[in-house]
Amino acid sequence: MIRLEELTKTYGKFVAVDAIDLHVPRGQIFGFLGPNGAGKTTTLRMIAGILRPTHGRIWLGGDDILSNPMAAKARLGFIPDRPFVYEKLTGAEFLRFVAGLYGHDGSAVERRINELFELFELSVWKNELVESYSHGMRQKLIISSALIHRPECIVVDEPMVGLDPKGARLLKDIFRAFVEKGGTVLMSTHTLEVAQAMCDRIAIIQEGRIVARGTIEELRKQTAAGDASLEELFLRLTGGSDVQELAAVLSD
């Protein structure tokens, strides 16, 4: 479970995230969508503990990330939009390093590393330096590092970047299996088709505020949009109607 209460982040007079309230229950893939600069990544980085909120609270499970950060972060797997890996480590060494940050080591970690490398079809690369990995392979390694400690919640920013269609389908299946076992996934993506296909519920953020939330059907009712696609709903809610008009002109 992920819960945000009046979550706010300011930089001087600029309000990047403006008093967000959000509850993501167990057993759901929750989409967090918005145009560039809307506050998505800032919000996710606060949840991950990378940025400190100006105001508000964040709970992961039952732990407040500000008052009990170690316990809260132990519940979380974070997949950033611009991940960093140590290129002079092998893939296995990198996963051991990440597992160690969570206090895990020994034979259980080695079994988990083997499971993850097999799952992502990287077993033959296990003992190769990360600098030799392709972009897609690095993305798989980062996803593996978020799963190495068996988290309860996963927060992911642009999960499909760099993955081929097979890898993207595998990740979808992993997320679905994860939530079916009681996990929680909060996912930000610009690929609205992915969000529509994967997410149980969606929140749309615009200029630091959540302007709509719910299932696709609930969003359609909120906007009186009939059977509109998520792309059409998104453009209506974020002021992108001019984009639709331009597309119509170009298609004539």
Q: In terms of residue numbers, what domain contains 5?
A: 1-75+176-252
Q: Flag whether pLDDT at 161 surpasses 80.
A: no
Q: Does a structural domain hold residue 182?
A: yes
Is residue 4 situated within a structural domain?
yes
Residue 34 lies in a domain: yes
Residue 42 is predicted with a pLDDT of 95
Number of independent structural domains in the chain: 1
Residue 50 lies in a domain: yes
pLDDT recorded at residue 165: 85
Higher pLDDT, 162 or 146: 146
DSSP-assigned states of every residue in the chain: -EEEEEEEEEETTEEEEEEEEEEE-TTEEEEEE--TTSSHHHHHHHHTTSS--SEEEEEETTEETTTSHHHHHHTEEEE-SS----TTSBHHHHHHHHHHHTT--SHHHHHHHHHHHHHTT-GGGTTSBGGGS-HHHHHHHHHHHHHTT--SEEEEESTTTT--HHHHHHHHHHHHHHHHTT-EEEEE-S-HHHHHHH-SEEEEEETTEEEEEE-HHHHHHHTT-TT--HHHHHHHHTT-HHHHHHHHHHH-
Q: What is the pLDDT of residue 246?
A: 42
Q: What is the pTM of this model?
A: 0.87
**3-38 pLDDT per residue, tens:** 999 999 999 999 999 999 999 999 999 999 999 889
CATH number of the structural domain spanning residue 226: 3.40.50.300
92 within a domain of the structure (yes/no): no
How would residue 244 be classed by pLDDT, with cut points 50, 70 and 90?
very low
In a domain, residue 69? The reply is yes
Q: What number is the average pLDDT over the span 74-96?
A: 92
Residue 214 lies in a domain: yes
Mean pLDDT of 133-161: 91
